[in-house]
Structure 1
Amino acid sequence: MNGRTTQEATTPQESSAEAVGPTEWTHRDEVGVGPWEGPWPTDDRYDPELLEHGDRRNVVDFYRYWRREAIVEHMDARRHPFHVAIENFQHDHNIGTVVRTANAFAAKAVHIVGKRRWNRRGAMVTDRYQHLQHHADVAGLVRFADEHGLTVVAVDNVPGSEPVETVRLPRECVLLFGQEGPGLSEDAKRAASLVVSIAQFGTTRSINAGVAAGIVMHTWVRQHADLSTAW
């Protein structure tokens, strides 16, 4: 990702008139922006090491040079009131993709149900900025949902499910996804107040769990999000 204009990159400290801002990397294989040019910003959200050496992280330009903790704190004010949960009984490699997508849509949190360990490669380091919680089983997730007034919405192409293309998703909810292949467990389907499916027109029985999560999260965004706050 190349750096944007100085005006965009210096938005958090516009009061610093002498700040020059980031410089683009001169080599195409370099990711991000180079060292800060000119006087450093005094805002404590900025990381001195990143200002000195450049910022190669996979973050939007608004957060260039910010400390991780500062990014998380700022994101907490932007997060949407939906949560995402995925069952992890077979170390599903799609979980990383689900986390990355949840981060892109500013989900409140991602819940891993089942095994605590999961393959983080697909997350592309976005798990550093996304709240993650673990539940040993579906019952634990349901308790969390009940305590926080969240409706559990299961996603699976099963008899009795409602098309996500036409249903109105609850604003405050947990979108629950199953394993690649077997889909949702019986416990998950029983725990859900609503089960939705994604319309398919081909030969395959199901679509990739990471793709399904992206479709349903984007449906929530289309129905509930303030698009004027998108990057």
Structure 2
Amino acid sequence: MTESAPAPAVDEAEPTLPYGVGPWPGGPDAWPDDPRYDPELLAHGDRRNVVDGYRYWTMAAIVADLDAKRHPFHVAIENWQHDMNIGSIVRSANAFAAAEVHIIGKRRWNRRGAMVTDRYQHVRHHEDVAAFAAWAAAEELPIIAVDNVPGSVPVDRAELAERCVLLFGQEGPGLSPEALAAAHGVVEIAQYGSTRSINASAAAAVVMYEWCRRWA
């Protein structure tokens, strides 16, 4: 089932941002006659972290519009260390219009890095790798693991199916042996410096962009 648990108290309200728009010009008499628009936002302005095309829209209207055009790739993250990168990965999944985000393992995750984008993104929980792999098999979605392990293929040269699940691991240890065993293929990001790996959320954004470059 899609997770619907509320975000922690610190994230209950959208952050006030230094950009956006003020009240709709002209007052209530000039408001658009469109059910997608939120009267509160029309009256007080919209400072949310949304693109200009969604200014003044209700959250439900934004989600419905996104649902009509989400891409057919999914994003999955193992969560056995409460990795703080998960929130940032959810934010990137929203930016690249992923179909769903899947949290594997512990249900609770740190939403701070998501910047409330999890409210616009469908998030599903799986108890463990076996449950996640069973779901992916039922949906006929190949699992593409992202980790720099022996045998992985640089993502720019790898095959990425249009319908797939991109599976990411924890910062540091990467994917568990169970997750790697469940994958249909493993890709990595080519690097040219001295560090062995890049930040997990940065890696996720790179791979999602590569999928969009080919298919979006």
Q: Under a length normalisation based on structure 1, what TM-score does the superposition of the two structures give?
A: 0.83
- The letter for the 1-side match of 2:156 is E
Structure 2 distance, partners of 1:61, 1:118, is: 29
Structure 2 distance, partners of 1:141, 1:197, is: 21
Are 2:14 and 1:30 aligned?
no
Cα deviation for residue 163 of structure 1 reads: 1.1
Taking the TM superposition and a 5 Å limit, the aligned residue runs for 1:64-213 are 64-213=55-204
Correspondence for 2:9? none
Q: Count how many residue pairs are aligned between Structure 1 and Structure 2.
A: 197
- The letter for the 2-side match of 1:121 is R
> Between Structure 1 and Structure 2, whose CA radius of gyration is higher?
1
Structure 2 distance, partners of 1:198, 1:76, is: 29
Cα deviation for residue 30 of structure 1 reads: 3.4
3-state SS of the aligned residue for 1:103?
helix
Structure 1 distance, partners of 2:66, 2:134, is: 26
Structure 2 distance, partners of 1:163, 1:104, is: 23
Q: Return 5+ residue gaps in structure 2 as ranges.
A: 1-16
Structure 2 distance, partners of 1:73, 1:144, is: 24
In 2, are the aligned partners of 1:100 and 1:123 still within 8 Å (CA)?
yes
Correspondence for 1:61? 52
Structure 2 distance, partners of 1:163, 1:31, is: 38
Report Cα offsets for 1:108-138 as digits up to 9, x if no partner.
0000111111111111111110000111111
Cα deviation for residue 140 of structure 1 reads: 1.3
- The letter for the 1-side match of 2:109 is W
Structure 1 distance, partners of 2:152, 2:178, is: 16
Report Cα offsets for 1:125-182 as digits up to 9, x if no partner.
1111000011111111111111211110000001111110111201100000000000
Structure 2 distance, partners of 1:74, 1:144, is: 26
Cα deviation for residue 191 of structure 1 reads: 0.1
In 2, are the aligned partners of 1:168 and 1:223 still within 8 Å (CA)?
no
Displaced runs of 4+ in structure 1, greater than 6 A? none
Correspondence for 1:24? none
Identity fraction in percent? 67
Alignment partner of 1:51 out of 42, 51, 57:
42
Structure 1 distance, partners of 2:176, 2:195, is: 20
Q: Under a length normalisation based on structure 2, what TM-score does the superposition of the two structures give?
A: 0.89
Cα deviation for residue 197 of structure 1 reads: 1.0
Structure 2 distance, partners of 1:173, 1:35, is: 42
Q: How well do the aligned residues superpose, as a CA RMSD in angstroms?
A: 0.9
Correspondence for 1:7? none
Structure 2 distance, partners of 1:200, 1:63, is: 37
3-state SS of the aligned residue for 1:112?
strand
3-state SS of the aligned residue for 2:202?
helix
